[in-house]
Every structure is written in structure tokens, then in C-alpha cells.
Amino acid sequence: MRAISVAPAAPVDAAVRAIIEIDDIDFHYGPARALHDITLNIKERQVTAFIGPSGCGKSTLLRCLNRMNDLIDGARVTAGQIRIDGVNIYDPRVDAIELRKRVGMVFQKSNPFPKSIYDNITYGLRIQGEKNKGRLDEVVERSLRGAALWDEVKDRLHESALGMSGGQQQRLCIARAIAVEPEIILMDEPCSALDPIATAKVEELIHELKKQFTIVIVTHNMQQAARCSDRTAFFYLGKLIEFADTRTIFMNPANPQTEAYVSGRFG
């Protein structure tokens, strides 16, 4: 960890393995540089929050982690490495499809497919060729329970997912992501379109999910980062300004820019 680390890391840190190692990453959209020398480690079964003002590169970095940026013309990692489980995910031998099965993603704008709830959850398994009805049923129940949605929708699994409320739709997207049993879940401002009650439910869910998954969450909402995350990274203009224990970032930041941002003086 080369970032300006302040307080000693939280006690759990030392023992926990770093599952994602971001090592000196540069990223360009065509000629425009979006990320500058980012280095940070994300630990297994923790929630890591990315905060920072709009346009500072949080989403860009997040989308590097499951190579979602591959799909944008002219967008590429120009230097550095990202290792997951020790493997450089930008190695040409790495299969981005397999990677995305291991690294799930929940988008800012919830995107349930215009299919039934059941078909949404089983989508990931079906495209992998799973046809066994019993197994699919089981996964649907487990995923929906995992996303704290089972009781609300168990009687209308075969109705369109678009009939759900906004908060339910976002939790459905989370359920859909965990149905393929990833190790890591990336969330890009998952609550930005939700009301406070739905937001609270998703946050509660994040607490539950971290027992099983490693979570990286981008958020605009400082309270949310403070409530949900174990560690927080603050970005500004494509640079990592500070990365530390969430408590340290909020109570005792080392960098004056961080302090200004978390206290709401800009951004």
C-alpha cells in the first residue's frame, strides 16, 4: 500500500488476505487520462468504499476490476496491473467472461431485464447452460433470500421484474449477481436512485453480504460510506488521495483535501 496511510490499519487488517491488488494503474479514455497511478489493496470479505466528487474516476476504477471497460472503444489500462487472487486480470490469457462470473456487478441505474423475476435470477446460470429445474429453483430461493427479497416476491416469481419498486429492483439486481456465486461484488452507487428506506434496506443487505463476499462500493453518500464500509478510498481528479480505515478517513484524515471533502466543504 503506497497511499498515504495514516492511522494503523484496523486490527483485522493484518490477518486478512488482499484479494484484489491494484498496482500503479493508469487508465485512458482515448487520449484523456482518467486514472493516475492508482495503487490500493482490497481485502477479502470486507466492504471497501470509493468516494470522491463526480468525475474523479471511481466508476472507471470499479469497472476496471471486472474489465467492463473493455467494451468502451478506445478505453484501456495504459500502465500497471490489477491482480485478483494473484492473477493479473489484464493478462491476454485471462478470459474476461470467466472473470466476470467471479466478479459480479451491480449498476448505478438498476437494470432488471424485462423478464420475470425468476428469469432474471436464473439468467446467469442459464447462459452457463444450467437447465435443471430443481437446481434453478433452489438458486432462485437462495439468491432472493440472500438479497432479503424472498418474502416480498415469493408469490410472484413469474411476474415481470419491472413491476417491482425501485428498491426491490435494485435488490433483485443484487440477487441476480449473487446467483452466479461470485467472490467479489462491485456496486456502482447502488442507492443513488433510491429513497431513504430502500437505501437502508440495501445497506443492511451489504452488512449481511460481506460475511460471504468481498464488496467494493462506489458511493456519493458520505454517511453511507461511513455506515457500510470497513475501508474507504478517497479519489480526486483521477488520483487516489487517501486510502485507510473508514474511521480514520472520517474522523482523522491525514490529507487536508480528504478532510475538506468528508466534512462537506466541497464536492
Partner 1 sequence: MSTTAAAIFNRPTPAKRAETVVFWLLRLATYFVLFCAAFIFIDIGWKGGSVVFRTQAPFLNVPFLTEAPETLNVFTLDGQPRTMGDRAFRAFKATHEAELKGVRIETYVYSAGGIFPNIVGTVLLVAGSVLIALVLGVLSAIYLSEYATDGPFIRFLRLAIINLAGVPSIVFGLFGFGLFVIALDFGVSLLAGWLTMAFMVLPIIITASEEALKAVPRGYREGSLALGATKFQAITTNVLPYALPGILTSSVLSIARVAGETAPIMFTAAFVVRDELPWQVAKWTDFFFQGVMALPYHIYVVASKIPQNEYTRDVQYGTAFVFLFTVAAIAMTAVILRQRLRKRYKW
Ligand X SMILES: Nc1ncnc2c1ncn2[C@@H]1O[C@H](COP(=O)(O)OP(=O)(O)O)[C@@H](O)[C@H]1O
Q: How many residues bind partner 1, per CB under 8 A?
A: 25
- How far is the C-alpha of 94 from the C-alpha of 101, rounded, in Å? 13
The one of Mg ion, ligand X, partner 1, none whose footprint includes residue 57, by CB under 5 to 8 A per kind, is ligand X
What is the nearest approach in angstroms of ligand X to the Cβ of residue 91? 23
Q: Which is nearer to ligand X, 36 or 115 (CB)?
A: 36
Q: Please tell me whether residue 66 binds ligand X under the rule CB under 6 A.
A: no
Closest among 92, 81, 71 to 38, alpha carbons compared: 81
Minimal distance, residue 197 CB to ligand X, in Å: 25
For position 41 contacting Mg ion by CB under 5 A, the verdict is no
Q: What angle do CA 68, 242, 196 make, to 5 degrees?
A: 65
The yes or no reply on residue 131 touching partner 1 (CB under 8 A) is: no
Find the Cα–Cα–Cα–Cα dihedral 75, 76, 78, 81, rounded to 10°: 150
Compute the least distance from the CB of residue 223 to partner 1, in Å.
27
Site string for ligand X, 20-59 (x = CB under 6 A): ---------x--x-x-----------------x-xxxxxx
Does 72 help bind ligand X (rule: CB under 6 A)?
yes
Binding mask 50-89 for partner 1 (x = CB under 8 A): ----------------x-x--x-x----------------
Comparing CA positions, the residue from 70, 74, 13 lying closest to residue 46 is: 13
Cβ closest to Mg ion, residue 2 vs residue 109: 109
CA-CA-CA-CA dihedral for 134, 139, 141, 142, to nearest 10: 140
Q: Terminal CA-to-CA distance of the chain, rounded, Å?
A: 26
* Strand duo 184-188 + 214-218: pairing: parallel
Interface positions, 45-104, toward Mg ion (CB under 5 A): 59
When asked if residue 60 is in the footprint of ligand X (CB under 6 A), the reply is: yes
Backbone angles phi, psi at 214, to 5 degrees: -90, 130
Q: For residue 206, state whether it binds partner 1 (rule: CB under 8 A).
A: no
CB of 160 to partner 1, least distance (A): 8
Binding site for ligand X (CB under 6 A): 29, 32, 34, 52, 54-60, 72
Binding site for partner 1 (CB under 8 A): 66, 68, 71, 73, 97-98, 100-101, 104-105, 107, 109, 111, 113-114, 123-124, 127-128, 160, 162, 173, 176-177, 180
